[in-house]
Structure 1
Amino acid sequence: MRWYIPYGNPTYFIWLAVALIPLMIGLLYGRRFRWYQTVVSLFFLILTFGGPNWRTGIALICYFVYQVLLVSAYFHYRRRKDSPNKGWVFVLSVILAIPPLVVVKVTPAIQSGKQSIIGFLGISYITFKVVQTIMETRDGFIKEYHPIIFAQFLLFFPTISSGPIDRYRRFVSDYEAVPAQKDYLDLVQTGVRYIFLGFLYKFVLAYYFGSVLMPQMQFGAMMAHGFSWYIIGYMYTYSMDLFFDFAGYSLFAVGISYFMGIKTPMNFNHPFKSKNIKDFWNRWHMTLSFWFRDYIFMRLVFFMMKHKVFKSRITTANVCYIINMLIMGFWHGETWFYILYGLLHGCALVVNDTWLRYKKKHQDKIPHNKFTELFAIFITFNFVCFTFLIFSGFLNTLFFGPSKF
C-alpha cells in the first residue's frame, strides 16, 4: 500500500471516489451508513498516518484518546447535579488540552528545527476543536455529548490536515440528520463545483505561481544581493501561491464533506477584495479567524472589562487585538517573522478601528465612491501581501541566511 498526503495527487481522489460511492448512494436514498463512514474515515487516516508515518499515527492515537477522555471528564463534571461549576476546573481543562500543541510548536525552536515526536499532521486543528468544545460546554451551549460522535468530529478526515475548523454543535446537527434528496443533490452539485475549482486553484494556479514564477523571483533576488524588484515580484507570487494552494485544499475538504452530507463551513471568501484589514480577516481563513475572535479575543475583552484592567473600552479592544494576533503569530512558529506578522496585523486592526470611528464621526467630510473603494482594496491588498512577504521567511533567508533567527 502507498501512503498519501491528503489531496496531494490524483490517485488520492480516485480512492476517494471509490470509497464514497456507497455512502453517497445511501444518502441519496435517505440513509446515512454511519458504520461505513467510520470505516472510510479509518481507511483514509491509515493512508495518511500509516506506513513510513507510523510514528505520527501512534502520536495521533495517543493524543486522540487523551483529548476524548479529557472532554468526556469535563462534560460529566458539568452535568453533575451537585457540580459546583468552579472556574478553576474549566481553566485547568483548557490548559490540559493545550500542552501537546505547545510542545509540537516549541520543539523546533529549541532543538534546531527538529520536529517533536508527538507531532502529527493536523494537531493544531484538532486542538482548536477540543478547546472550543470545552468552552462551549462551560458556556452551556453544548447540552449533549456523545463520545463516538465527538470522535467522528475530531477525526473527520476531509478536514483533519488543513481545516476548515468546524464547530461541534454544527457538525452534530449534520451528522445526526439525513438531508432530503433534493437538498443532497444540491450539496453534491456544489461539492463537484468546489472540487473542480480546487483543482484549478491547487494544481494549476498554485503550481504556476509557486513552482514556475516563484523560483525565478527567488533566484533574481538572491543574485541581486540586496533590495531589488525581484523581492516585490516574490511578494506577489508568494501571496498568490499561498492563497491558491491553501484555498484549493480547503475547497477539496468542503467539497468532499458535502458528498458526505456534512456542510463544512467555507474557509475563504474572495479575501483580496477586502476593503480594510478587518474585512480581510472576515474573508481569509475564516474558520481560524472566527475561532481566534470567539475563543481568544472576545474572552480577553470580557475578562479585561470585568476586572476593569483599562478604563476605556477602546483601549481594551486595541490591546486585545494585538494580543490576539500575536498569539496567532506565535501559533505559526517561534520565529521573528511569524511574530512580526502577527504584530503588524494586530496594529493594523487598531489603526483600522481608529479610522472607522473617525470616518463615522466625519462621514459628511470624507468622500465615498467607487474610486475610494478601489483605493481601499488596493491599500489592503498591498499591506496583506507585504505581511505575507514577512511571513514567508524569505527576507530572513535573503539578508541573514537560512541558519539564523
Structure 2
Amino acid sequence: MTVFGSFSFFFILAAFLIPTVILGLQGKSNKTYNMIMNLLFLIIIFSNVSNGNVNKTIYAAICLVIFTIWQMMIIKGYIAYRKRENKTSTFYIVVILSILPLVISKSMPFIDKHLSFIGFLGISYLTFKGVQIVMETRDGLIKEQLPLDRLIYFILYFPAVSSGPIDRYRRFDKDISTVPTSEQYQEMLYIGINRIFQGFLYKFIIGYLINNELLLKLNDISWISTFQREIIYMYGYSLYLFFDFAGYSAFAIGVSYIMGVRTPENFNKPFISRNIKDFWNRWHMTLSFWFRDYVYMRLVFWITKKKWIKDRIAISNIGYVVLFMLMGIWHVAGGAALQYIVYGLYHALIMVLYNYFEKWNKKHKKWPQKNKFVHVFSIFLTFNFICFGFYIFSGHLTNYWQSGNFLHS
C-alpha cells in the first residue's frame, strides 16, 4: 500500500484521522496521538510497499530502523559536539556520514542488482531532512538539544515520507509545539480537506486520464509518424508528471493541515514560468529551495571566499553545473542512470545560457520585461524547454535515439 496510492489507503487514513479532528476542533493538543498514528502508518506503508514480498518488507523495515538510529546518533552527537568545539573538518565528516546511507542505497544496484533491497521508500527525503538539521546546527540556527521524539517525528513524518514536500525542522517544530484554537483548527481543517480534493482531481482524474487515455494508447494510433508520436508523448508526459506529482503533494499538504502541520507548498503554477530560473522557483519548490540553500549558495560562497574566481557569472555557472549534476545523479535509481545524468546536464546548460542572456539583456535591454507579447512568448518558450527536459527525464529520448527512428523521422 503506497502513500496516497489507493482508495483503501484513504479509507484507513480517514478512520485514523477522526480522533485528530475531534481533538483539534476542541482546541486540544493532538500531538501525542498524531505521533502514535504516524508510527502505525509507517508500519502499514512498509508492510505493503513490497507487494507482499515478506523478505523485501523485512529488509526495508530493518534499513529504516538502522537509518533512523544512524541519523539520530549523528544529529544528537553533532549538536553536543558543537557546544564544545567548532571545527570545519568535523562538519564535513558529519555531512558525509549523514548522506552515506543514501549513497550506499543509490550505488548498490550498479554493483549488483540483487543488492537493490538496500534502502527503503523515501530514503532521499529523509536524508535531506537529516542533512538540513546538521547544516542549520553548523550555522547556529539550531543550538538546543532536540527532543528525541520530535526529531524522529520530523524525520519520519509519514505524509511526506515518499516524495516530500521537504519541510524545515524549525518551522515543523513550531507547528507541533503550538496548539491551535478551535477557530484556527477549523480553518486548517477546511484548507486540508480542500487540498485533498484537489489531489484527487489532479492525480486520480486528470493524471489518470492523461496516462491511460493518451500515453498508454499512443502506440495504437497508426496514422501518425513516430516523430509526431514522440512530440505528443513529450507534452503529454510533462502534463502527467505535473498532475501526478502535484496531486501527491496536495494530499501530503492536506493531511498535514488536518494533523496541525502547515507543510509548505511544493508547486506554484510552474508552466507559466517566464524563464528557467522562474521555473525552478515554482516546480518541486521544497526540493529546489533545499538544493539552493544547502548546495548552491554554500558552494558559491565557498568559491567566492577562496577568491579562486573573480567573475561572479562564472562562479554562478559553476554552482548551477554542480547543482544540476547532483540533482541528476540523485534521480538515478535501480541501475538506470543515462537519462537522469543527461537531464541534469540539460538543465545546467540552459541555466548557464540563461545566465549569460540575462547579463547581456541587462546591458542592451533588447528583451523588455514588461511587454505583454514578450511575457507570453517567454512563457511559451520556457514551457517548450521544460517539456523537452521532461522528455529526456522520461527515458523516451534515449530509447528513440538508440532505436535509430530519429534518422527516419
Q: Does 1:126 align with 2:130?
A: no
Q: Specify the SS of the correspondent of 1:135.
A: helix
The CA distance in 1 between the partners of 2:317 and 2:129, in whole Å, is 27
Structure 1 residues 218 and 61: CA distance shift in structure 2, 3 A: farther
Unaligned runs of 5+ in 2: 49-53, 404-409
Post-superposition shift, 1:364?
7.2
164-173 or 179-188: bigger deviation: 179-188
Match of 2:43 among 21, 24, 46: 46
Question: Match for 1:214: what amino acid?
Answer: L
Pairing 1:68–2:72 present? yes
1:375-394 superposed matches below 5 A? 375-394=377-396
Q: Within 5 A, what are the aligned runs for 1:4-403? A: 4-50=1-47, 52=54, 53-79=57-83, 83-112=84-113, 114=114, 116-144=116-144, 145-218=146-219, 227-333=226-332, 335-363=337-365, 366=368, 368-400=370-402
**SS of the residue aligned with 2:118?**
coil
Residues 95 and 131 in structure 2, CA contact (< 8 A), matched pair in contact too: yes
Runs (4+) of structure 1 exceeding 6 A deviation are none
Q: Which amino acid in the other structure matches residue 183 of structure 2?
A: K
Distance in 2, Cα, partners of 1:218 & 1:344: 27
> Does the aligned pair in 2 maintain the 1:327–1:342 contact within 8 Å?
yes
Q: Deviations over 1:159-193 (max 9, x none)?
A: 10110000001100001101222222111111111
- CA distance in 1 between counterparts of 2:143 and 2:25 reads 30
- Distance in 1, matches of 2:40 and 2:244, equals 25
Q: CA RMSD for the aligned pairs?
A: 1.9
State the AA in 1 paired with 2:250.
L
1:196–1:367 distance in 2 versus 1, CA, 3 Å? closer
1:99 to partner: Cα distance: 1.4
CA–CA distance in structure 2, aligned partners of residues 73 and 220 of structure 1? 60
Give, in whole Å, the separation in 1 of the partners of 2:253 and 2:355: 32
> Matched residue of 1:121: which SS?
coil
Please identify, of 98-107 and 130-139, the stretch whose mean Cα deviation from structure 2 is larger. 98-107
5+ residue gaps in structure 1?
none
Q: Distance in 2 between matches of 1:219 and 1:362?
A: 50
2:46–2:60 CA contact under 8 A, matched in 1: yes
Q: Which amino acid aligns with 2:307?
A: K
- Give the letter aligned to residue 305 of structure 1: T
Structure 2 distance, partners of 1:69, 1:234, is 46
Q: 1:133 & 1:323 partners in 2: Cα distance?
A: 22
Cα deviation 1:145-172 (Å, max 9, x = unaligned): 2221110000111110110000001100
How much has 1:111 moved relative to structure 2?
A: 2.7
Structure 2 distance, partners of 1:181, 1:369, is 47
| Amino acid of the structure 2 residue aligned with 1:73 | G
Is contact 2:325-2:341 (8 Å) kept?
yes
Q: Is the Cα–Cα contact under 8 Å of residues 103 and 116 in structure 1 kept in the other structure?
A: no
Q: Report the secondary structure of 1:268's partner residue.
A: coil
CA distance in structure 1 between the partners assigned to 2:295 and 2:391 by the alignment: 26
Find the aligned partners of 1:85 and 1:17 in 2 and give their Cα distance. Answer: 47
Number of residue-to-residue matches in the alignment:
392
CA displacement 1:104-124 (0-9 Å, x = unmatched): 112223335x55222111000
One-letter amino acid of the counterpart of residue 142, structure 1? I
How far apart in 2 are the matches of 1:256 and 1:291? 22
* CA distance in structure 2 between the aligned counterparts of 1:320 and 1:242, rounded to whole angstroms: 27
| Distance in 2 separating the partners of 1:151 and 1:328 | 26
Q: Could you tell me which amino acid in structure 2 is paired with residue 342 of structure 1?
A: G
Distance 1:393 1:364 in 2: 37
The letter for the 1-side match of 2:117 is I
Q: Deviations over 1:52-107 (max 9, x none)?
A: 3232112111111111111110011112xxx2211111111100011111111122
Contact residue 165 and residue 287 of structure 1 kept, 8 A: yes
Structure 1 382/364 Cα, relative in aligned 2: closer, same or farther at 3 Å? closer
| 8 Å Cα contact 1:100-1:118 kept in structure 2 | no
Q: Which residue of 1 aligns with 2:51?
A: none
CA distance in 1, matches of 2:112, 2:308: 37
Deviation at 1:253, TM superposition (A): 0.2
Distance across 1 between alignment mates of 2:47 and 2:23:
29
Q: What one-letter code is carried by the residue in structure 1 that aligns with 2:32?
A: W
Structure 1 residues 380 and 364: CA distance shift in structure 2, 3 A: closer
CA 1:208 to 1:115, structure 2 compared with 1: closer, same or farther past 3 Å?
farther
Say whether the 8 Å CA contact 2:202–2:246 is kept in structure 1: yes
**Amino acid of the structure 2 residue aligned with 1:133:** I
